[in-house]
Amino acid sequence: MSEAKRVQGIGRLRIRGTLGVTGANFLKMLGMTIKRGFNFVIERRRFCESS
């Protein structure tokens, strides 16, 4: 959650209402998870190629 607050700005949203905030936070966290997955795959490929 710290990264989400710092990098993605989850603490400050322009959306109001429970449903909108929940949806925005879900999409931001989903994006962060996808980005982490891609970075993991890229780093793993680099490690395997150099070994």
Quick: pLDDT tens for 39-50.
999 999 988 887
pLDDT tens for each residue of 1-51 = 677 777 767 777 788 899 998 898 899 889 989 999 999 999 999 888 876
Q: How far is CA 9 from CA 1, 19, 24, 28, in A?
A: 10, 18, 11, 9
3 state DSSP class of 35: helix
What are the boundaries of each domain within the chain?
2-50
Note if the pTM is more than 0.85: no
pLDDT at residue 51, as a whole number: 64
pLDDT at residue 28, as a whole number: 87
